[in-house]
Structure 1
Amino acid sequence: MGANAAKAAGSDAGIDGSELPARTLIDAAEIEKNYGATRVLRGVAFRVRAGEIQALLGGNGAGKSTLIRIITGLASRDGGTIRFASGRSGRESPIIAVVHQELALLPELSVAENIGIVHAASGFSRSSMRRMRQLALDALGLIDPALAGKIVDEPAGRLSLHEGQIVEIARALSTGAEVLLLDEPTANLTAAESAKLFGVLKRLAQEEDIGIVFVSHRMKEIRELCDVCTILRDGRSVLNAAPLAGLSDGEIVQYMGQPAHRAATERRPSAAAAGGALTLAGPEDTRIEVRPGTVLGLAGAPAGPTGLIAPLVGAGSGDGWSISGDGFRGAFRSPAHAVRAGVGFISGDRATKGILSQLPIIDNVVAARRVRQRTQLVRAAERPQCLDLVSALKLKAGSIWDMPSSLSGGNQQKLLVARWLNLPLRMVVLEEPTRGVDVGTKREIYTLIRQMADAGAIIVWWSTENVELIELCDAIFAFDTEGSPRGFLPEDRFTEESLAELTGMAA
């Protein structure tokens, strides 16, 4: 969790707390980082103050994650200086805890063990287990006391994504951190859970004088939580700890290098939208009929949408949902069965539901084609096909033989989209596909998905960002916070207020 990372990062940084201005915990200047011939950071300045919540902003590939890795000592730098203030209780540097965008829990260990493991000297004993359990209850209780007792003894592998994210944040808080770095921490949380977390973070900043760095692409969250912002663009800092109150949303987007405004994606009937409707049947006598070319949005907390998505992509029976129509009967036996039937799947959970981390970019791009063709052999046509798709998506990669880990989060997400382009698809199922990507990449993904719909595919899109559903979808089906179906919201009633009323969530 990077609890002692500041000391490691500062071993050659010239730590001297006496030289830092009052309340400044971290002061980085002219930070440079190269990966081979690629210059990732080109002279970044970054300052963190005690008692202040700072938004770290920038497009995908701007250098945010690399900067965090350098600050926490997980990566070396090629230039620049980092100074740290003295930590509490005489430590030479402050404790830094970091919560990364992708979960890093040990699935076979309990929640208590996952939280307590960063405090254990060696092994587990009966007494240490009791201490771990109480530590976990205390840390989880800061966010959600009711959830704490429910999951503390559960194996982490049984948690939902949003429960796992809460455990990650609780583990960071349990370290007594003086600097807390949060990389997209609300990506898997409901609006209510996010609000609780924000309350905790504000209290930690105000009462405990903790410096908090918050990475997010959601302007509503940034405005609600943060005091100042640092903006990176092409590996450079264009703003450093600037007050948010003096910046409009349009100015922030422009600093990030994105157009200040783009018209909403135009919804229009697909030329292939006649006939061939599919019916989704679920609990409470629910029936959803969708035609080719339709973008159907799913709104609500994870329980409802994921229960519908599972049988559509061959990942389980879900909550009693089935699919029927031309060529479709019941549920798919496996993900491969769904792919061969013409169903694509794109998830925002890149680590566990998308990226093949041990295979190069080319294998990730052509994975769906190989499943459809029932082959594992490399074909001569794959290389030019992959190059064409990488070029069309403006995917920033050194080589198609590089590993996905060399790509930014946004470019990894483009990789998952590329997998399904130019394939004959009946349906594309999207599970938070824009989670953790910047404004520009979101727009590119929106355009690609609309193109798939125009080619005749049915699009089923779950998002917890209501504004995204309103912009992209032709119809929206809502679930409440318990996962129960609440019914359709027609296009003439597309408002954030209507969605919030149906789902119990605001996003």
Structure 2
Amino acid sequence: MSETSTNVMTVRGLTKSYGATSVLQGVEFSVARGEVHALLGGNGAGKSTMIKIITGAVSKNDGDIRFFDEDGRERSETEGRAKVAVVHQELALLPHLTVAENIALPNHRKGMGLFRRTAAAREAFESLRMIDQGFAATCLHRPVGSLSLHEGQMVEIARALSSGAELILLDEPTANLTALETERLFTVLRKLTGENGLSVVFVSHRMKEIRQIANVCTIIRDGRTVVDRQAINELSDVAIIEKMGQVTASHAVERTRLSAVTFDASSATNTLTIQEQGFKLELRPGTILGVAGAPAGPAMLIDGLTGAARSKRWTVARAGWPDRLQSPRQAARLGAGYITGDRAHKGVLHSLPIIDNVMASRRVVRGAAIAGGSEGAECLDLLKALKVRAASVWDLPNTLSGGTQQKLLIARWLGVPSRLLVLEEPTRGVDIGTKREIYQLIRQMAASGTIIVWWSTENVELLEVCSRVVAFDTEGRCAGVLAQADFSEEKLVTLTGMAA
């Protein structure tokens, strides 16, 4: 049997340019039936663009994409794309429709009768139940607009699984999932690839997860294929990072204009106290507090710290602050910054240029409504520090990759004299090298006296960077605090009740 007859798709010589910017330069890529294939590359390497071309969302300049049925016969491009489902890095859900309606959408037919709608809801439930039975039972008829980012991610994945596709393209599918939800997803994918012959393209920057689920990998760098279909166990993490053109953990990030503001760590007036029923935690300047666990508990804590509190459960106290922060604007002007994990809907200002995105927090803090004369140079310094390559600061953010857009959110608070910075999945969708740069920047901010509160679903990065970690269980209750001397992933798993 030829290689082509075992493939569900082959891509040969794929090119794509936007004006003078060349994104793909002759990419080679093939996916065999029944495999999980890791597509790897740094931010801006061209992964998301290739996925959009495969699905027909973006046109190619040149190259060849072929689809094949289970007998090895070539399908037409239209027929082949009908057998492809995709979960994009940024969610594509209709907020006014219910969870069930969003999942059933790919199979929707105009004039669908009551019987078919009932059957569609039942099928949607079964797809969602494979990932999280409790969520499926309670949220099937809720509007998607009422869901958290992490719940929306599960809906996206369930929709892909229910579509009847033979090839599923998953672009950072676990970025908003807990460890337990990720393991459930992997169990489903292993079953579908092993028993049903489903093929999966898995895009992620989380090396542990890549090794857990993928059979082979392809690595693209600067729009070119540098590793074509190599077994994942034949490459070390270091080798993969080098092939991607990434930096090692010892790389030192370039410094930018960090604030010279310092705080007296021993002064009680600079201490931040957060508490709920029976729980109290004092954070002194320079503390990096990790937050682990399912979203319910961390979300309420974050709301309290950023002035967006929908719940009165958590109280936040600091000398010179009101008893309760009333709004994000008030929090920002008092020195409390926030980087959201939902960059598509709550973070990036899509209709405004890069400079407005980067300078937004400074303008709120300074009370400025329009750009100042020095902002251009300040913005360029910040972009340089985070290695953001943009043709102009006046370009729109959608000219950048998803991971690079995440850097814009980091840049907003870099160097702003903040007393508190709340981070919600700050490394979501960024490559390994950029993660290390963000870790270093966070340490620099803490060294200048900022209190960092950091929620992440990646226990490993919390253990690497934080001085303490507060853990929440699956019911959203505070389960305990680990000091640095007691850190271990096993202890975090026990406290949060979630698999590693």
TM-score by length of 1: 0.91
Per the alignment, residue 266 of structure 2 pairs with 274
Measure how far apart 1:232 and its partner are: 1.1
Per the alignment, residue 11 of structure 1 pairs with none
Distance in 2 between residues matched to 1:66 and 1:45, nearest whole Å:
14
SS of 1:115's equivalent in the other structure is helix
* 1:271–1:454 contact (8 Å) kept in structure 2: no
Q: Structure 1, residues 327-361: CA drift from partner, whole Å, max 9, x if none? A: 22332211111111111111232112210111110
Give 5+ residue unaligned stretches, structure 1.
1-17
Measure how far apart 1:414 and its partner are: 1.1
> For residue 192 of structure 2, what is the amino acid of its counterpart?
L
In terms of mean alpha carbon deviation, does 242-251 or 124-133 score higher? 124-133
Tell me whether 1:75 sits opposite 2:53 in the alignment.
no
Measure how far apart 1:124 and its partner are: 5.8
Measure how far apart 1:227 and its partner are: 0.5
Tell me whether 1:370 sits opposite 2:353 in the alignment.
no
SS of 1:419's equivalent in the other structure is helix
* 2:89–2:402 contact (8 Å) kept in structure 1: no
Tell me whether 1:351 sits opposite 2:344 in the alignment.
yes
Task: Give the alignment partner of residue 387 of structure 1, picking from 370, 380, 392.
Answer: 380
Q: Structure 1, residues 32-51: CA drift from partner, whole Å, max 9, x if none? A: 11112111111111101100
SS of 1:330's equivalent in the other structure is coil
SS of 2:93's equivalent in the other structure is coil
Tell me whether 1:449 sits opposite 2:446 in the alignment.
no
Distance in 2 between residues matched to 1:416 and 1:90, nearest whole Å:
44
* 1:272–1:455 contact (8 Å) kept in structure 2: no
In terms of mean alpha carbon deviation, does 85-94 or 424-433 score higher? 85-94
> For residue 6 of structure 2, what is the amino acid of its counterpart?
R
Per the alignment, residue 172 of structure 2 pairs with 184
Measure how far apart 1:260 and its partner are: 4.8
Per the alignment, residue 409 of structure 1 pairs with 402
Q: What's the Cα RMSD here?
A: 2.2
Q: Structure 1, residues 476-501: CA drift from partner, whole Å, max 9, x if none? A: 11111211112221111111122222
* 1:323–1:329 contact (8 Å) kept in structure 2: no
Measure how far apart 1:20 and its partner are: 6.2
For residues 37-186 of structure 1, the aligned pairs below 5 Å read 37-86=20-69, 92=76, 93-94=79-80, 95-122=83-110, 125-186=113-174
> For residue 387 of structure 1, what is the amino acid of its counterpart?
L
Per the alignment, residue 209 of structure 1 pairs with 197
SS of 2:371's equivalent in the other structure is coil
Per the alignment, residue 436 of structure 1 pairs with 429
> For residue 116 of structure 1, what is the amino acid of its counterpart?
A
Change (3 A) 1:77 1:283: same
Distance in 1 between residues matched to 2:323 and 2:114, nearest whole Å:
49
Tell me whether 1:335 sits opposite 2:318 in the alignment.
no
Per the alignment, residue 246 of structure 1 pairs with 234
> For residue 140 of structure 1, what is the amino acid of its counterpart?
L
SS of 2:44's equivalent in the other structure is coil
Distance in 2 between residues matched to 1:349 and 1:334, nearest whole Å:
18
SS of 1:26's equivalent in the other structure is strand
* 1:306–1:318 contact (8 Å) kept in structure 2: no
* 1:280–1:321 contact (8 Å) kept in structure 2: no
Distance in 2 between residues matched to 1:478 and 1:86, nearest whole Å:
48
TM-score by length of 2: 0.92
Measure how far apart 1:271 and its partner are: 7.5
Measure how far apart 1:311 and its partner are: 1.4
In terms of mean alpha carbon deviation, does 224-233 or 378-387 score higher? 378-387
Tell me whether 1:421 sits opposite 2:404 in the alignment.
no
Distance in 2 between residues matched to 1:227 and 1:176, nearest whole Å:
22
Pairs aligned (count): 486
Distance in 1 between residues matched to 2:75 and 2:30, nearest whole Å:
20
Distance in 2 between residues matched to 1:248 and 1:486, nearest whole Å:
36
Per the alignment, residue 19 of structure 2 pairs with 36
Measure how far apart 1:280 and its partner are: 3.4
Distance in 2 between residues matched to 1:410 and 1:147, nearest whole Å:
28
Tell me whether 1:292 sits opposite 2:285 in the alignment.
yes
Tell me whether 1:480 sits opposite 2:463 in the alignment.
no
Q: Structure 1, residues 100-127: CA drift from partner, whole Å, max 9, x if none? A: 1111111111111111222122266534
* 2:87–2:160 contact (8 Å) kept in structure 1: yes
